[in-house]
Homo-oligomer: A and B are copies of this chain.
Amino acid sequence: MPAINTQLEIIRRGCDELLIEDELKDKLKAQRPLRVKAGFDPTAPDLHLGHTVLINKLRQLQKLGHHILFLIGDFTGMIGDPSGKNATRPPLSREEVARNARTYTEQVFKILDRDRTEVVFNSAWMDRMNAADLIRLAAKHTVARMLERDDFHKRYRGNQPIAIHEFLYPLVQGYDSVALKADLELGGTDQKFNLLMGREVQKEYGQPPQVILTMPLLEGLHGVDKMSKSLGNYVGINEPPQEVFGKLMSISDELMWRYIELLSFESLETIRKWKAEVAQGRNPRDIKVAFAQEIVTRFHGASAAAAALADFEARFRQGEVPEDIPEFSIAADADGVAISQVLKRAGLTASTSEALRMVEQGGVKLDGEKVSDKMLRLAKGKTAVVQVGKRKFARVTIA
């Protein structure tokens, strides 16, 4: 295993908080593989780059020789949303959990070494826990402490209901750390309270408390909101190579360094060298291409990455409208169709509100001319090429 300080530098890279660093040093001194826990929902999302920030950190720890426990929280998934408030979360069957876990890990093993990752399910121990055990666990923790958790506090103050079982889930998550004898748990910054709970529960069970490491939420492509599917500012790891490449080329130079810190597997030395070169006049675009190539290669392989680069250069460096763009026929009222509707229906924006925002930001063109009036309506019979940003095109006919 590398020297402790080298390990610490790698572990700290891009992280939000590491608690408690001295405890981590002591654990590393023992020169044994740490048991590293990270918990995931069994709902099997299509992963985007935001999700991979945490998985990349697991990969770094794996490369350092530590033992990765990829925990799928199927126990709670099989309970579903018992408050009945969320109709979209029915209880999952054991088969659905297994299928979801497969979908999940298939994506994850593009980053982690499949042979050195232990996939565990918390139903293995939680199914055996009885009501009395859970009551004993709940008895060690107070309502007031639970209401300190940021989201609970806000909901309680705001008279939004909190179901009592929501107080039990952090305890279950904490108990998972006991069952796994975790040395280190990773999570998003929003998981800090739950990760700390793991420390408390482990102490109650006579275990040394785990160190916790929180990773920030990755910003979306515009650098403001967090990356999210619903905000349409994401890069899905299963998107076509050209999409991934083009989206990453569209980010600002500033955001690029952030993405490199959290998403690239390049060493810290290489990144320091790149920064020095850019400071001395090198075009950051070169770095961006290298980074975008790295990411496409990771998920689609090297030849797809090369093809994406060639396509990108052909289309955008030469400023041409690509030949092969999708066509839409859009039904109009008597007074035509609003531009925001056109953008949404042609799939160029996720919503009309996003469309209006894009027009306001000057990111929409109609037959090559920038659209400045967000209330613009296209009349019946018109055919035009609409463009959003640098890369999204559609040919629309108003019918």
Quick one: CB contact mask for A153-183 with B, threshold 8 Å, 1 for yes? 0001001011111111101100000000000
Give the CA-CA distance A145 to B22 in the complex, in Å.
42
Residue pair A136, B167 in contact (C-beta under 8 Å): no
Give the CA-CA distance A130 to B172 in the complex, in Å.
13
Residue pair B82, A135 in contact (C-beta under 8 Å): yes
Residue of A132, A165, A168 ringed by the most chain B CB atoms within 10 A: A132
A contact patch SS = helix
CB distance from A297 to the nearest CB of B (A): 44
Q: Which of B82, B156, B168 contacts A140 (CB 8 A)?
A: B82
Q: Given A127-B132, A129-B131, A134-B134, verify A139-B164 contact (CB < 8 Å).
A: yes
By a CB distance below 8 angstroms, the chain B residues around A172 are 131
By a CB distance below 8 angstroms, the chain B residues around A127 are 130, 132
By a CB distance below 8 angstroms, the chain B residues around A162 are 142-144
Q: Which of B140, B144, B164 contacts A83 (CB 8 A)?
A: B140
A126 at the interface (CB under 8 A from B): yes
By a CB distance below 8 angstroms, the chain B residues around A130 are 127, 129-131
Give the CA-CA distance A329 to B132 in the complex, in Å.
52
Residue pair B139, A165 in contact (C-beta under 8 Å): yes
By a CB distance below 8 angstroms, the chain B residues around A143 are 143, 147, 152, 156, 161-164, 166-167
A8 at the interface (CB under 8 A from B): no
Residue pair A168, B138 in contact (C-beta under 8 Å): yes
Q: Which of B133, B134, B136 contacts A135 (CB 8 A)?
A: B134
A146 at the interface (CB under 8 A from B): yes
Residue pair B75, A168 in contact (C-beta under 8 Å): no
Quick one: CB contact mask for A48-92 with B, threshold 8 Å, 1 for yes? 000000000000000000000000000100110111100000000
CB distance from A88 to the nearest CB of B (A): 16
Q: Given A79-B135, A131-B133, A133-B131, verify A141-B163 contact (CB < 8 Å).
A: yes
CB distance from A145 to the nearest CB of B (A): 8
Residue pair A165, B144 in contact (C-beta under 8 Å): no
By a CB distance below 8 angstroms, the chain B residues around A144 are 156, 159, 161-162
Quick one: CB contact mask for A86-111 with B, threshold 8 Å, 1 for yes? 00000000000000000000000000
CB distance from A266 to the nearest CB of B (A): 44
Quick one: CB contact mask for A211-246 with B, threshold 8 Å, 1 for yes? 000000000000000000000000000000000000
User: Quick one: closest B residue to A132, CB to CB?
Assistant: B79
User: Quick one: closest B residue to A141, CB to CB?
Assistant: B164
CB distance from A141 to the nearest CB of B (A): 5
Give the CA-CA distance A171 to B135 in the complex, in Å.
11
By a CB distance below 8 angstroms, the chain B residues around A135 are 79, 82, 134, 165, 168-169
Give the CA-CA distance A245 to B156 in the complex, in Å.
54
Residues of A near any B CB (own CB < 8 A): 75, 78-79, 81-84, 126-127, 129-136, 138-144, 146-147, 152, 156, 159, 161-169, 171-172
* 16 contacting pairs across A/B (C-beta < 8 A): A81-B139, A84-B140, A126-B131, A127-B130, A129-B130, A130-B130, A131-B134, A134-B134, A134-B168, A135-B165, A136-B165, A138-B164, A139-B164, A141-B164, A142-B161, A164-B171
Known: A82-B139, A143-B152; 15 extra A-B contacts, CB below 8 A, are A75-B132, A79-B135, A83-B140, A84-B139, A84-B140, A126-B131, A131-B131, A131-B172, A134-B135, A136-B165, A138-B167, A143-B147, A143-B161, A143-B164, A164-B167
State the 8 A-B residue pairs at the shortest beta-carbon distance, nearest first: A82-B139, A138-B165, A129-B131, A139-B165, A138-B164, A131-B134, A82-B136, A143-B162
